Amino acid sequence: MSDASSMDIAERKRLDALDRFRIAGTSPENRFDRICRFASELFSTRMAFVTLIEEDRQWFKACSGTEIQQTTRGESFCDHTIRTDAVLVVPDARADARFSDLPIVTGEPFIRFYAGAPLITSDGHRLGALCIADTQVREQFSERERHALAGLAAMVMEHMEIRREGIPNATAASFANATDLSMITCDPTGRIEFVNQAVLDMFGFSRNEMIGRSIDMIVPERFRAAHNAGLSRVAAGGQSKLKGKTVEVSALRKDGAEFPIEIALSVWRDERGMGMGAIIKDISDRRDRDVRLLRLASQDTLTGLCNRHRFEDLLREELGQGTQLGVLLFDLDGFKDVNDRLGHAVGDALLQAIAVRLPAVLDRHATLSRFGGDEFAVLLPGAADPRAAHEAANAVIDAFKTPFEVAGHTFRVGASVGFALAPNHGSDGEELIASADFALYRAKQAGGRVVRMFEPTMRTERVARRALRDELLRALDRKELVLHYQPQVIIETGEVFGVEALIRWQHPERGLLAPAAFLPALEQSSVALDVGFWVLDEAARQMAAWNAAGYPPIKMGVNLFPAQVRAGNLARAVGDVIARYELDPRFLEIEITETITLNDDDQSLESIQALRDLGVGVAFDDFGTGYASLGSLQRYPLTTLKIDRSFVRDLLAKPRDAAITRALIMLSRELGLKTVAEGIETPEQEAALRSMGCEAGQGYRYGRAMPADAVAELFSGIHPQRLLRA
């Protein structure tokens, strides 16, 4: 290896050693400043320095007699000093060719005399120098003086070693004071030795108030005996039961207030003996949150009643003790109308009023719970007799006979109640609640505001209905659902102007099923949304197919499920199929029923108005059979009114039905709506409707619902321009 390479390696090691001290470029420190002042006084010089030689610069860690921060390495005396183990003495720098042109010689501070001893590490690396200097020439610098200067340099090196060893401790202390974690240590007697700022903030003491005091100052008095016993056991060499664990205990603030903390304890032994430390966390917020969560886990936030989770826990406990009991489930008749008309804030206030009234009519041992929405439950311990449960159920219904006065409104709402008894109707809580739910369903089917007790046949019927819904979902996936089309005609001419798309189920085992066999189950399930949009898409696809075949366009009527309106994307879905199949929206008519209009909310109205904005027609189907008000005809942007078949069927036999039909036709005409009478089967019915001024009809008189390929025969007599006027 060449001499140059050896020198490069040695220099790199020297610089690495200097870097490990982490001192070059740092701020002044008193320990080094004091040594400089002492050296200046000892050798009677104007200046003294502690320098550190980096790769390209000389850094002045300490100065006496002048202020210099740094020079380049090549413009320094000390770069020569570190090349030897001996003290470098320069009697007259102006006379020494090595230094005569240095800026610190020719300019401030005008150094003439220099003596420097290298700062040598224990492993022989020379990091810098302790040097003295003067503006006057000094010809003599004795061996004793050289030895003294080298001794002071060794003292500087010792302080640098001490400083380096203290860096981790200083860093740890700075970190401890900067962190949000509260740290505390104590000696074997329990005297506090160290606390960081977070501990002071947590407990409210100053550092002087804690250092040297017993750890008992933060331990509540009732726990001190046990705490000191554990401390003594560990100090005697025993094992701490808390070491390595995180535990929750109580602590004491300066003001005497107790609060919960989480503590993680550490124990160690060093040259002084045993030491202990802990990281402490104030868990007051967590405890408060846990209390709130526990309350939320068991309490309905709106009414203050126990919630379903807590109700099921109580039910499970009672059943576990073999208690005979009853479970009542009830929901409110007419509550949805309150929410729809007046908003959820008023609806919530009504629920709160109900929660206040009902406990007063129930046995004191009964537990009233709100399951959610307007559904409530009652747990009746000891109610083995159906008569007792029936009495409690009737008490619930009677409680609603008195109107509720809430938020300036008077409400008359009722309740439907179903109940089940243990152990006859269920051996566990889930089964018992399900049985009561079956009974509640039957109570609502009976018209509401009645009581029904669970019977095994209810479960069978409900299970069968659920199974039918599951089968319908599979039918949709397997493409077993099909559309048939029933013609609509102009009564005066018999001309077909449109069809209504009607769903059928091509069941693989039961054959072709009419809607009555499956629609009730479908309408009450989540499958209704998927099936409804499938019907819309299939009807639109068929329209496009007829158009592509060159047939004259006819109006396509498509029925909606209420779920499609509630979904909020009805207009977008209709717009998508119009664009996808390139349809004229004037030939598409969406049929809605009173179920949709009875909601009478803004979303329903906005959805229907959006359809009209697309140019799509909107027909009111089965009008007059339920509770739809005349206001619905005025509120909704309708284009067609369809008179239900129940009026047409007895049109000739019942004068009252004839009068209602005539009135509906007149009303439709006055509102500017087209009128279609459904269920026309005979020439006599057709003639009567014609005389009343009814424009169009639909029924077996003109044809049953038929497959798409059979509709082609109807197209021959269709005149599109007359159709659009119909």
Closest CA to 455 of 479, 426, 484: 426
Mention the CATH class of domain 3-172: alpha beta
CATH, domain range 179-286: 3.30.450.20
pLDDT, tens only, 13-49: 889 888 888 888 888 888 899 999 998 998 999 999 9
**Locus of tokens 């769903």:** 503
Bigger pLDDT: 495 vs 273: 495
639 burial via Cβ count (<10 Å: 0-12, 13-18, 19+): middle
Cβ partners under 8 Å of residue 112, min gap 6 = 92, 93, 94, 105, 134, 135, 136, 137, 138
Would you place residue 306 in the very low, low, confident or very high pLDDT band (cuts 50, 70, 90)?
Answer: confident
CA angle centred on 271, ends 268 and 273, rounded to 5°: 50
Q: Which DSSP category does 393 fall into?
A: H
Cβ partners under 8 Å of residue 650, min gap 6 = 657
Task: Give the amino acid at 532.
Answer: G
- As a whole number, mean pLDDT of residues 265-270 equals 76
Q: What is the pLDDT of residue 723?
A: 39
Query: Distance between CA 694 and CA 664 in Å, rounded?
Result: 10
Positive or negative torsion for Cα 406, 409, 412, 418: negative
- As a whole number, mean pLDDT of residues 563-582 equals 86
Domain boundaries, the chain: 3-172, 179-286, 299-454, 470-725
Tokens coding 423: 């152990």
Q: What is the pLDDT of residue 240?
A: 60
Q: Torsions phi, psi of 422, nearest 5?
A: -105, 140
Whether residue 227 contacts residue 216, with contact meaning beta carbons closer than 8 Å, is answered with yes
Tokens coding 663: 């009135």
Q: Among the listed ranges 122-136, 366-380, 595-609, which one has the minimum average pLDDT value?
A: 595-609
Tokens coding 111: 């150094």
pLDDT at 545 over 90: yes
Cβ partners under 8 Å of residue 651, min gap 6 = 657, 658, 661, 685, 688, 689
Bigger pLDDT: 412 vs 128: 128
Q: Where are the beta strands (DSSP E) in 491-616?
A: 495-507, 511-513, 555-559, 588-592
Whether residue 375 contacts residue 305, with contact meaning beta carbons closer than 8 Å, is answered with no
CATH, domain range 470-725: 3.20.20.450
> Residue 261 to residues 279, 285, 403: CA-CA distances in angstroms?
10, 10, 52
Residue 76: strand, helix, or coil: coil
- As a whole number, mean pLDDT of residues 630-651 equals 84
pLDDT, tens only, 224-248: 877 777 777 776 666 665 555 677 7
Q: Among the listed ranges 146-150, 290-294, 504-508, which one has the minimum average pLDDT value?
A: 290-294
Whether residue 501 contacts residue 507, with contact meaning beta carbons closer than 8 Å, is answered with no
Query: Distance between CA 104 and CA 384 in Å, rounded?
Result: 108
> Residue 331 to residues 82, 393, 404, 437, 478: CA-CA distances in angstroms?
95, 12, 16, 10, 37
- As a whole number, mean pLDDT of residues 177-196 equals 81
Q: What is the pLDDT of residue 2?
A: 56
Closest CA to 129 of 113, 137, 118: 118
**Locus of tokens 């004793």:** 144
Query: Distance between CA 533 and CA 569 in Å, rounded?
Result: 11
Tokens coding 542: 């068929």
Whether residue 379 contacts residue 318, with contact meaning beta carbons closer than 8 Å, is answered with yes
First to last CA, the chain: 109
Q: What is the mean pLDDT of the chain?
A: 84
Query: Distance between CA 290 and CA 626 in Å, rounded?
Result: 51
Packing angle between helix 570-581 and helix 527-548, nearest 10 degrees?
30
**Locus of tokens 């070693």:** 161
Whether residue 420 contacts residue 324, with contact meaning beta carbons closer than 8 Å, is answered with no
CATH, domain range 299-454: 3.30.70.270
418 burial via Cβ count (<10 Å: 0-12, 13-18, 19+): buried
Cβ partners under 8 Å of residue 71, min gap 6 = 57, 58, 103, 104
pLDDT, tens only, 58-73: 999 999 998 898 999 9
Peptide bond into 109 cis (omega under 30): yes
Would you place residue 335 in the very low, low, confident or very high pLDDT band (cuts 50, 70, 90)?
Answer: confident
Bridge-partner residues for 520, per DSSP? none
pLDDT, tens only, 584-633: 999 999 998 766 665 445 667 888 899 999 999 999 887 665 545 566 77
Bigger pLDDT: 243 vs 318: 318
**Locus of tokens 């970190």:** 175
Peptide bond into 423 cis (omega under 30): yes
pLDDT at 165 over 80: no
How many residues does the structure list for the chain? 726
Per CATH, 3-172 and 299-454 having the same topology is answered no
Per residue, the 3-state secondary structure of 90-152, as one string, reads ECCHHHCCCCCCCHHHHCCCCCCEEEEEEEECCCCCEEEEEEEEECCCCCCCCHHHHHHHHHH
